Amino acid sequence: MTAVGSTPYGWFDESAREYVVTRPDTPTPWINYIGEGGYGGIVSNTGGGYSFDRDPRNRRVSRYRYNAIPADQPGRYVYLRDQETGAFWSPTWQPVRRPLDAYECRHGAGYTRIAGELDAIAAELLYFVPPAAPCELWRLRLRNAGVRPRRLRSFSYVELSYPDALADQQNLDWAQHIFRTRHEDGTLLACTEFRPDTTFFSSSAEPVGFDADRERFVGRWRDLADPIAVELGEPSNEDSPRGNGIGSLCHELELAPGEEREIVYVLGIAGDADGAARAVAAYREPGAVDAAFAALRADWDAYLARFVVATPDPAFDAMVDGWNPIQCRTTLHWSRFASAYETGLGRGMGTRDSAQDTLGTVHAAPERAHETLTRLWRLQFLDGHAWHQFFPLTGEGSVGHAAERPAWPQWFCDDHLWLVIATCAYLRETGHAAYLEQRVPYEDGVEETIWEHMLRAIEFTRAHRGPHGLPRIGFADWDDTLNLDHGSGRAESVWCAMQLCRALLDLAELAGELGREAEGFRALARETAAAVEEHCWDGAWYARAFDDDGRPVGVAAEERHRINMNPQTWCVIGETAPSERAERALRSMEEHLGTELGIALLDPPYDGGDERVAGTATYPPGAKENGGIFCHANAWAVVAAAKHGWNDAAYDWYRRILPLLRDDSDRYLVEPYVYCQNVCGPTHPQFGMGRNAWLTGTASWTYVAATQWILGIRPTYRGLRIAPALPSAWDGFTARRLFRGVAYEIAVERAGPGNAVSLEVDGVAVAGDVVPLPPPGRDRVSIRATIAS
């Protein structure tokens, strides 16, 4: 058995909670994130990537060339040049790509460390953003591992972007005239004449020279593999009065054998030159950099310590204790905006995306979930629906791709319902009932309480139902590409009916806890479920939706798209189906859509365009929503199976998409340490290839599936429920979870078949499966749970 996460390109270092990339030439750039929500960016295993402040479209700091050749350039580079021989290289391999004697990249939570050695010069670059800082640090350590003294020059390189990234990339004529970079006192400052915002780049050591202008540094008709300044060993020391600004500082280093030197670079953006100077000065204080890194580590350690598990499955533990919650926090902060696939130009943040992103983080960062939810409720309109997307810096909302079809509905049926579901989850976790009284404005004016916002969300869906009494689908539901309403106002989403029921049951439970009227919610849920049962059962599974003409999609009578995953899982999650139908639906799903690498979203895929469903049929068979394996939806299958009591199916489905188990990197291509959004399905020539790693709702939902459903540790208004769906291969597990400030130490043991739980709390038997909060003052409870029928 190979170690967890081992691939031809790296391995998982469990003790350090780092993914270690051992070769720079990964199948695709394997990236990480630094910073979160404020200043931050992406960094690849060869130093590629870019940065921005809050919003990669409207406040970009550095450039990246997506889908270009050479791939994964530019980035945060330091060239090293041996002043005796003139030889130069990149310790991050790129951009020079000269083979190194040793290479290792360690991606950790909020930092990346790349070490490269050549000819007895050992270099290490550590990239991170100090908590809440307006800038990033690159700590370069150089050590002479040889036996003779060495004289080196280092040249940093980062390509600065005019903050409006769209203008930077498309309005070359303007952007290249206005954005200027100058040198002052060891710091490079880039800004325009008409706005004070200033991008800055500096270092902790006195440079011997600088380059501010890309063309001067690189030279005509050269590239980043052989810039003239590095080849000659001479910086130009010229400002950049127009064109392309860069941050390049040249340092000279004499290193005796065994000697080590450190240079710290600072890159950031400030409101003006003074702000830039302050940020730079802050990290010149002795110890400031190490302190900042220690603070970052401590913050992540505390976050990750909120839930720790030990099961018989090391891959499960590695994900649940490390990369999965790291990924969850990343999606919460960057939504789907900036990744190796999303260019940081177009979409902004997603309303439903961010709502779901809170689900995987609320236990460990409830204050961030609170902030996100409040921000999202502001995107709601008085009629109850919400903007589909928004830009975090400007607050500008949008209807997303619906804008391309102005005659079709300009709303998605699920955005506002996710807000209800996520808010209930937040309340179950925190018990923060006062949140419901918080007043938040609508997009179109007045302010109301969160509770009233939730009621309006339900009301929108109630008021927008179609001929079968199901929610109208609008432009689309969770599946953006399922565009069934061509202006008729009649197309319906079966899946959304089930989602509505989930939201209603959550609200009813909440209302019950608060002593408010719950029956209205329950009645609408019953009515909706009845409509589903009456109209949507197709004999062996549920239909997916109805089109303008009331004709079903996702039924056996169709030639294409005969069955779709989502209603088969959500009939369980939304509790709309009788048990026998739920069971049959799950079985049909596995039978028709299951593969060893996950469950395909639908089958058979469309083969050629089909204006009836529009978006879905733009994809070729097996790609994305047209029959690809959508990992996000696979997480729902895990939840549904566990909820239905199919423990082994839940665990099996969970493992099929577990990235740490994908050791076939040359097929999978993407990072093995985080989930990707989709895997090419069995009908695609590249079946098994992953796409869109990192920013996907898969992160939160697999975390929920693993912790709340497989492990069965679920927050409730009255305490922590312990209701595992223990895989038959496991004899138990232990976990430590913080819940409302109390540490729950949990040991689960299987005593016999079945799923019934007997609880002992601090040695005392407790009825039911919910462990109540201990009396005030106690910050720790110890739980033994025994499973048997």
Count CB-CB contacts under 10 A for residue 157: 25
Nearer CB in complex with its own copies: 192/734: 192
Which of 6, 22, 83, 192 binds its own copies (CB under 8 A)? It is: 192
User: In the structure encoding, which two tokens stand for residue 445, read together?
Assistant: 């004016």
Which of 180, 363, 385, 562 binds its own copies (CB under 8 A)? It is: 180
178 touching its own copies, by CB under 8 A: yes
Which of 171, 449, 488, 734 binds its own copies (CB under 8 A)? It is: 171
451 touching its own copies, by CB under 8 A: no
SS3 749: strand
Distance CA 542, CA 144 (A): 67
Distance CA 105, CA 116 (A): 9
Partners of residue 128 on adjacent β-strands: 111, 137
As measured in angstroms, the least distance from the Cβ of 607 to its own copies is 7
330 touching its own copies, by CB under 8 A: no
Of 2-10, 141-149, 166-174, 316-324: span binding its own copies (CB under 8 A): 166-174
Cα-based distances in Å from 695 to 324, 571, 741: 12, 27, 29
Nearer CB in complex with its own copies: 68/523: 68
Of 67-75, 204-212, 466-474, 532-540: span binding its own copies (CB under 8 A): 67-75
As measured in angstroms, the least distance from the Cβ of 70 to its own copies is 4
Cα-based distances in Å from 227 to 87, 208, 220, 241: 13, 18, 9, 20
193 touching its own copies, by CB under 8 A: yes
As measured in angstroms, the least distance from the Cβ of 346 to its own copies is 5
Note whether 387 and 379 are within 8 A (CB).
yes
Catalytic-residue membership of 353: no
720: left (phi over 0), alpha (psi -120 to 50) or beta: beta
Which of 53, 342, 357, 414 binds its own copies (CB under 8 A)? It is: 342
717 touching its own copies, by CB under 8 A: no
368 touching its own copies, by CB under 8 A: no
As measured in angstroms, the least distance from the Cβ of 241 to its own copies is 4
Phi then psi dihedrals of residue 473, to 5 deg: -85, -20
Catalytic: which of 415, 477, 479, 480? 480
Of 113-121, 426-434, 532-540, 602-610: span binding its own copies (CB under 8 A): 602-610
Bond into 99 cis (ω within 30): no
* Per-residue interface string for the shown chain with its own copies, residues 687-706, x marking contact by CB under 8 A: ----xx--------------
As measured in angstroms, the least distance from the Cβ of 95 to its own copies is 9
Q: Using the 8-state DSSP alphabet, how is residue 319 labeled?
A: I
- Spell out the SS3 assignment of 673-702: CCCEEEECCCCCCCCCCEEEECCCCHHHHH
Which residues does 181 contact at the CB level (< 8 Å), separation at least 6? 160, 188, 189, 190, 212, 213, 239, 240, 245, 246, 247
Distance CA 683, CA 628 (A): 8
Which of 98, 99, 151, 174 binds its own copies (CB under 8 A)? It is: 174
**Block residue for tokens 């295993």:** 45
Count of residues that interact with its own copies, criterion CB under 8 A: 61
Nearer CB in complex with its own copies: 222/486: 222
610 touching its own copies, by CB under 8 A: yes
The type of residue at 21 is V
H helices of 519-630, where? 519-535, 565-573, 579-593
Of 220-228, 493-501, 529-537, 768-776: span binding its own copies (CB under 8 A): 220-228
350 touching its own copies, by CB under 8 A: no
List, in sequence order, every beta strand (DSSP E) within 332-481: 349-350, 389-390, 397-398, 439-441, 447-449
198 touching its own copies, by CB under 8 A: no
Which of 184, 223, 459, 549 binds its own copies (CB under 8 A)? It is: 223
User: In the structure encoding, which two tokens stand for residue 359, read together?
Assistant: 């689900």
In the region spanning residues 657 to 686, those forming contacts with its own copies, defined by CB under 8 A, are 680, 684-686
Greatest CA separation for the chain: 83
345 touching its own copies, by CB under 8 A: yes
The type of residue at 77 is Y
- Spell out the SS3 assignment of 368-411: HHHHHHHHHHCCECCCCCECCEECCCCCCEECHHHHHCCCCCCC
As measured in angstroms, the least distance from the Cβ of 125 to its own copies is 19
Of 14-22, 354-362, 514-522, 605-613: span binding its own copies (CB under 8 A): 605-613
As measured in angstroms, the least distance from the Cβ of 624 to its own copies is 6
618 touching its own copies, by CB under 8 A: yes
Which of 74, 75, 409, 659 binds its own copies (CB under 8 A)? It is: 74
Distance CA 190, CA 195 (A): 11
Nearer CB in complex with its own copies: 11/341: 341
The type of residue at 721 is R
As measured in angstroms, the least distance from the Cβ of 451 to its own copies is 36
237 touching its own copies, by CB under 8 A: no
In the region spanning residues 18 to 37, those forming contacts with its own copies, defined by CB under 8 A, are 24-25, 27
Q: Which helix (H) or strand (E) holds 218?
A: helix 214-218
Nearer CB in complex with its own copies: 210/619: 619
Question: What are the residues binding its own copies (CB under 8 A)?
Answer: 24-25, 27, 65-71, 73-74, 94, 97, 169-174, 176-178, 180, 192-195, 214, 218, 220-224, 241-242, 244, 341-343, 345-346, 606-610, 617-621, 623-624, 680, 684-686, 691-692
Active-site residue list: 480
